[in-house]
Amino acid sequence: MFNPQLNANGELQHLLSLDGLPREILTAILDTAAPFTEVAEREVKKLPILRGKSIFNLFFENSTRTRTTFEIAAKRLSADVINLNISTSSTNKGETLLDTVDNLCAMQADMFVVRHASSGAPYLMADHLRNTGRNDIHVINAGDGRHAHPTQGLLDMYTIRHFKHDFSNLVVAVVGDVLHSRVARSQIAALTTLGVPEVRVIGPKTLLPTGLDKMGCRVFHDMRAGLKDVDVVMMLRLQNERMNGPLLPSAQEFFKVWGLTAEKLALAKADAIVMHPGPMNRGVEIDSEVADGAQAVILPQVTFGIAVRMAVMSMLGRS
Amino acid sequence: MFNPQLNANGELQHLLSLDGLPREILTAILDTAAPFTEVAEREVKKLPILRGKSIFNLFFENSTRTRTTFEIAAKRLSADVINLNISTSSTNKGETLLDTVDNLCAMQADMFVVRHASSGAPYLMADHLRNTGRNDIHVINAGDGRHAHPTQGLLDMYTIRHFKHDFSNLVVAVVGDVLHSRVARSQIAALTTLGVPEVRVIGPKTLLPTGLDKMGCRVFHDMRAGLKDVDVVMMLRLQNERMNGPLLPSAQEFFKVWGLTAEKLALAKADAIVMHPGPMNRGVEIDSEVADGAQAVILPQVTFGIAVRMAVMSMLGRS
Amino acid sequence: MFNPQLNANGELQHLLSLDGLPREILTAILDTAAPFTEVAEREVKKLPILRGKSIFNLFFENSTRTRTTFEIAAKRLSADVINLNISTSSTNKGETLLDTVDNLCAMQADMFVVRHASSGAPYLMADHLRNTGRNDIHVINAGDGRHAHPTQGLLDMYTIRHFKHDFSNLVVAVVGDVLHSRVARSQIAALTTLGVPEVRVIGPKTLLPTGLDKMGCRVFHDMRAGLKDVDVVMMLRLQNERMNGPLLPSAQEFFKVWGLTAEKLALAKADAIVMHPGPMNRGVEIDSEVADGAQAVILPQVTFGIAVRMAVMSMLGRS
């Protein structure tokens, strides 16, 4: 069966989504990332792996934080990075997405890191590259609409493996606004693929999508019941635009019911870890006591995020 | 006679305009660009020619696309590139253009790539550098008002030479809104200097400047008559702000009369090439069938544009 | 006594303010900067001192000019520079300053260059780094509120030493809007520490802070009296937002009374030098005749500014 993310040899050609990515590829990325975590400890944090390659950060939607992580990862691999904030540029001039891609390819781009408000935009780019025979150019999805944010999902898996070593005996809970979260989609796909036996999804009915059971998740509308004896708590960010919106009473109300406090966390296993994709809304989806507490691995997630992005880029640069 | 673009030895000192540039210099730039097109094919797309040089992209007018091409060209020559979008910066603070230049020179700039809304701004900078004896600092005009866009003109010449080999027996048509186009001015100057025997300009009376005949052009107000038996069709971009403006009925009307369709293109020679400076307005000045057709060389133009900019920068870095 | 700018060995740990920095450190920075002024004269303006280090330009307040000087300095030391304009980014998303710092530290930042509208923000960051044991990460204040702009003060001291050789016999005047000037605070602190016997402050009562006498300054409200026989005139920039504000009649009135003209400058010593932190308001705080005259050392200030920033960065990179 055709997989748009793999090349003819079954190697990673584009990173578009964790949904549909074979377990061996997922594991290969995590394995490749491991030595990169040590690069950061060196005096000179640079490897020549992508020297002379041109990587374009195509941000059709502004995200300083995500753009920065990719920029650092690319520079540590010695690539040339060109940042394009396209929201105010060519698309204004009436150029289509694919014309922009064609132009940047003509400038001998090697890799595109794409953030786009429309779900599927990175797929469209990857299709176009394949249809026009440019198999030496790679696309990394840095977040498309509500669809996927695969490098976030990968760094989450790296973090879980780092602290829990083995996926095959874990209970993992994803908590919060799953409905609007591209991060949650990527997490659930990866957890399932990597063999986590129990993936729980916890949130209010208004903020959970339908079909979670078909994705193999157990759904909880009661946070305390859902957190019982879990190994990993993956909190989601509540988007500012949701607060005080029609689906929610208020940020304060949300915190009361769905915010992760020490008291609620005590229901999980004693050695449970707490994750968050950032940026955090302290006092909304997570209490500061937990965010800064001994079980939080939120900052290690960020560190592993650089290594995971270096891994993806180096694998694509090779294929 | 004094030429502000040349130094005392007759070498390129600044690239301000193709108008007034001797044929030998134009040809030398194209010749220098040729091997740079191969750099992009290498595993490591980098040469150490401008290592340690500081190149400032001074964009007083936003243009992600043009800025990107210069940034890539400079990075492939190993220069340090500093991007300055000045529209929202020092000029706000009341500093004059020449004070900004003086300050950046004091930071040991080696080269300025300048985009400015005012025609002549790069000349003003070049004059100021000469008057203050800073002959080791170079200016490249990346588009000034309606005046000139010399690197665009150069990449167009490179493209024509690449596909047609010889300028001395060509009929070349420039089509569209010549009146507002700095690109057209640069193209006509270069075509004439390089010995193209017949340069045609095709467009509605309201969008053609006066004096085209003195520049050696044949003027056509009928597109079909103008395209008859040409070797090269150079389409111009219709600026969005012109559409629906007082000079034009509508984008649809414009396309009907002045848009390049396969039917109109059939009047040109069978092996005619179609060029466009981008970004294209599909369905306005050019039909998608032509833009994506076999005669279009629009993407090679982009590729050659990087090589030509590398050539100009390397020549200036040497003089 | 604890000094937040020094480490346990008394070496520079953070550069937050010139107020409180020991004379030996100030002198060490100036001494370290000296050879860096020669780097700029070389063919390849690059040293490998910070190769592989990640320097983050954190600009919570826009300043293209200052950001550029730090970017150039860091690139000439071969560091990887990541520019973050945070005004429109994470803080929008509700993340706190310290969460942003923690995240960037988790990305293995080595150095932060910080511009912030709030006085004390860089101190807050330095405190946080110390409290969390991250002594290998350094903060450079690039201007915080009205408080300090230490690298500007340092380049001013470098300039004075370059032209006057010895601080111990100078009369130095700081002229203009001292009240709103973080530059003036840094200058006065450094001049005093370096042993300048007479520091004069000249300006209208409405634009001078109280307590200048306690800082060891002689206050003048008459510009001609204040300039009498000085060795160094340090003009301050009049912020645009002050002009026509309640504290001042008009820019023209200000110039008449407080603008530095050739006639007023004639009251200083014949070999007095004139300094300005830029960008200049010609015809407001300084006349063009003086700004472009033989006594002005305003452009050398800019050149020395790069060397001084390289010095600070290289010292921090070592400690």
Whether C49 and C180 share a structural domain = no
Nearest beta carbon to residue B99 from set C43, C62, C280:
C280
CB-CB under 8 Å, A64 with C52: no
Average pLDDT over residues A259-283: 96
Q: Decide if C144 contacts C119 (C-beta within 8 A).
A: yes
Predicted pLDDT of residue B94: 57
**Same domain for B282 and B154:** yes
Nearest to A275 by CA among A251, A252, A305: A305
The per-residue pLDDT for B43 is: 77
- In Å, how far is A53's CA from the nearest CA of chain C? 16
Tell me, yes or no, whether A13 lies in a domain: no
* C278/B96 touch (CB, cutoff 8 Å), yes or no: no
Cβ contact, residue pair B44, A51, below 8 Å: yes
Statement to judge: residues B176 and B291 lie in one domain: yes
- pLDDT score of B194: 98
The residue among C37, C62, C71 with the most chain B CBs within 10 A of its CB, best to mutate, is: C71
Q: What percent of chain A has pLDDT over 70?
A: 97
Judging contacts by C-beta atoms under 8 Å, the chain B residues touching residue C301 are: 106
Any domain includes B2:
no
Write down the number of H helices and E strands in chain A.
11, 9
The two beta strands, B54-59 and C138-144, are: unpaired
Distance from CA of B295 to the nearest CA of C (A): 42
Considering just the CA atoms, what is the radius of gyration of chain C in Å? Answer: 19
Helix (H) or strand (E) holding C113: strand C111-116
Residue A215 within a domain? yes
Asked whether the beta carbons of B219 and B204 are under 8 A apart, the reply is no
- Asked if pLDDT for residue B317 goes beyond 90, the answer is yes
Residue C187 has a CB neighbour count (10 Å cut-off) of: 28
Sort out which chain A residues have CB atoms less than 8 A from B302's CB and list them.
103, 106-107
Nearest C-alpha of chain A: how many angstroms from C108? 6
Q: Are residues A188 and A293 in the same domain?
A: yes
Report, as an integer, the average pLDDT of A30-42. 89
**Among all residues of chain A, which has the CA nearest to that of B44?**
A52
User: How close C119 comes to chain A (CA, Å)?
Assistant: 24
Q: Which residues of B touch A (CB under 8 A)?
A: 40, 42-46, 62, 64-65, 68-69, 71-72, 75-76, 240, 278-282, 284, 299-303, 305-306
CA gap A178, A160 in Å, rounded: 19
Q: What is the pLDDT of residues B201-210, one digit of tens each?
A: 999 999 999 9
Residue A315 has pLDDT above 60, yes or no: yes
CB contact under 8 A, A299 and C54: no
Nearest C-alpha in C relative to A239: C93
Rounded CA-CA distance C280/C264 in Å is: 18
Please report whether residue C14 resides in a domain: no
Residue with tokens 């401008």: B50
Provide the shortest C-alpha distance from residue A53 to chain B (in Å): 7
Q: Do A279 and C102 touch (CB under 8 A)?
A: no
Instruction: Quote the minimal CA–CA distance from C85 to chain B in Å.
Output: 13
Q: Give the pLDDT confidence score for residue B88 in this predicted structure.
A: 52
The pLDDT of residue A232 is above 60: yes
CATH number of the CATH domain containing C113: 3.40.50.1370
Inspect the interface and report whether the beta carbons of B80 and C240 lie closer than 8 Å: no
Average pLDDT for chain C: 93
Q: What is the mean pLDDT of residues C153-159?
A: 98
Residue A240 is predicted with a pLDDT of 74
Across the interface, do B89 and C300 touch by the CB < 8 Å criterion?
no
- Taking a C-beta distance cutoff of 8 angstroms, is the pair B78, B48 a contact? yes
- A164 or C86: which leads in pLDDT: A164
Tell me the nearest-neighbour CA distance from C45 into chain B, angstroms.
Answer: 5
Q: Which range, A182-186, B58-62, C300-304, has the best average confidence (pLDDT)?
A: C300-304
Please state, in angstroms and rounded to a whole number, the distance separating the CA atoms of residues A281 and A278: 8
Note the pLDDT of residue C295: 98
Do residue C265 and residue C312 come from a single domain? no
The shortest CB-CB distance from C89 to any of A64, A282, A301 is to A64
Whether residue A12 lies inside any domain: the answer is no
Specify whether A203 is located in the same domain as A255: yes
Chain B closest-CA separation from residue C213 CA (Å): 32
Q: Is residue A3 part of a domain?
A: no
**Which residues from B are below 8 Å from C when comparing CB atoms?**
51-54, 80, 82, 84-86, 88-90, 93-96, 99-100, 102-108
Considering the domain architecture, whether residues C174 and C255 belong to the same structural domain is answered as: yes
What average pLDDT score do residues C109-138 get?
95
Residues A117 and A133 in one domain: yes
Confirm or deny that A192 is annotated as ligand binding.
no
Q: Is the pLDDT of residue A185 over 70?
A: yes
Answer yes or no: is A10 within a domain.
no
- Amino acid, res. B214: K
Question: Looking up tokens 């977040």, which residue turns up?
Answer: A143
Please count the structural domains in chain C. Answer: 2
Instruction: Identify from C82, C87, C95 which residue to disrupt to test chain A contact, counting A C-beta atoms within 10 A and taking the largest count.
Output: C82
Asked if the model's pLDDT at residue A319 lies above 50, the reply is: yes
Q: pLDDT (tens digit, 9 = 90+) per residue, B29-54? A: 999 999 999 887 777 889 999 999 99
What the block records as the tokens of A100 is 């922009």
Residue range B116-137, pLDDT digits in tens: 999 999 999 999 999 999 999 9
Q: How do residues B177-229 score in pLDDT, each as one tens digit?
A: 999 999 999 999 999 999 999 999 999 999 999 999 999 999 999 999 999 99
Contacts of B69 in chain A (CB under 8 A): 107
Number of Cβ pairs < 8 A linking chain B and chain C: 73
Q: Indicate which of A55, A62, A82 best probes the interface with B, i.e. most B CBs within 10 Å of its own CB.
A: A82
Question: Does residue B71 form part of some domain?
Answer: yes
Mean pLDDT of chain A: 93
The ipTM estimated for the assembled molecules is 0.92
The DSSP secondary structure of C46-106, one letter per residue, reads: ---TTTT-EEEEEESS--HHHHHHHHHHHHHTT-EEEEEEGGGTGGGGT--HHHHHHHHHH
Dihedral Cα A158, A162, A167, A173, nearest 10 deg: -70
pLDDT, residue C90, reads 46
pLDDT tier, A93 (very low <50, low <70, confident <90, very high otherwise): low
Q: Determine whether the annotation assigns residue C237 to a binding site.
A: yes
Q: What is the number of alpha carbons within 13 Å of residue B132 lying toward its C-beta?
A: 16
A13 close to A5: Cβ distance less than 8 angstroms: yes
Secondary structure (DSSP) of chain B: ---TTB-TTS-B--B--STT--HHHHHHHHHHHHHHHHHTTSSS----TTTT-EEEEEESS--HHHHHHHHHHHHHTT-EEEEEEGGGTGGGGT--HHHHHHHHHHTT--EEEEEESSTTHHHHHHHHHHHTT-TT-EEEEEEETTTB-HHHHHHHHHHHHHHHS-STT-EEEEES--TT-HHHHHHHHHHHHTT-SEEEEE--GGGS-TTTTTTTEEEES-HHHHHTT-SEEEE----TTTTTSTT-S-HHHHHHHHSB-HHHHTTS-TT-EEE--SS--BTTTB-HHHHTSTTB-HHHHHHHHHHHHHHHHHHHHH-
Please say if the pLDDT value at position A284 is more than 90: yes
C47 and C65 both lie in a single domain = yes
Residue labelled with tokens 């992009």: B40
Residue numbers of the domain that contains C141: 23-148+302-318
Res C94 pLDDT > 60: no
Residue C109 and residue C140 in contact, taking contact as beta carbons nearer than 8 Å: no
C286 band by pLDDT with thresholds 50, 70 and 90: very high
Cβ contacts (< 8 Å) between A105 and chain B: which residues? 299
The Cα–Cα gap between C111 and C123 comes to 14
Higher per-residue confidence, A319 vs A230: A230
Indicate the pLDDT class of residue C27, thresholds 50, 70 and 90.
very high
Q: B-chain residues within 8 Å CB-CB of A107?
A: 68-69, 72, 302-303, 305-306
For the cut 60, the answer to whether the pLDDT of residue A91 exceeds it is no
pLDDT of res. B286: 97
* Residues C108, C83 within the same domain: yes
State yes or no: pLDDT of B249 exceeds 90.
no
Read off the pLDDT band of B93 (50, 70, 90). low
Structure tokens at A239: 């988007």
CB contacts of B103 in chain C (<8 Å) are 65, 278-279, 299, 302
pLDDT of A233 over the 80 cut: yes
Helix (H, G, I), strand (E, B) or coil at C158: helix
What is residue C91's predicted lDDT score, i.e. its pLDDT?
A: 47
pLDDT in tens, B126-166: 999 999 999 999 999 999 988 899 999 999 999 999 999 99
Calpha distance C191→C226 (Å, rounded): 17
Helix residue ranges per DSSP H, A107-222: 121-131, 150-164, 182-193
Domain shared by A170 and A254, yes or no: yes
List of residues 6+ apart from C214 with CB closer than 8 A:
none
Count of residues making up chain C: 319
Residues of C in contact with A69 (CB under 8 A): 107
B36 and B51: one domain? yes
Q: Which residues of C touch B100 (CB under 8 A)?
A: 279
C278 is in an annotated binding site: yes
Question: Cβ–Cβ of C279/B86 closer than 8 Å?
Answer: no
Provide the pLDDT for residue B90: 46
pLDDT above 70 covers a percentage of chain C that reads 97
CB atoms within 10 A of CB B31: 12
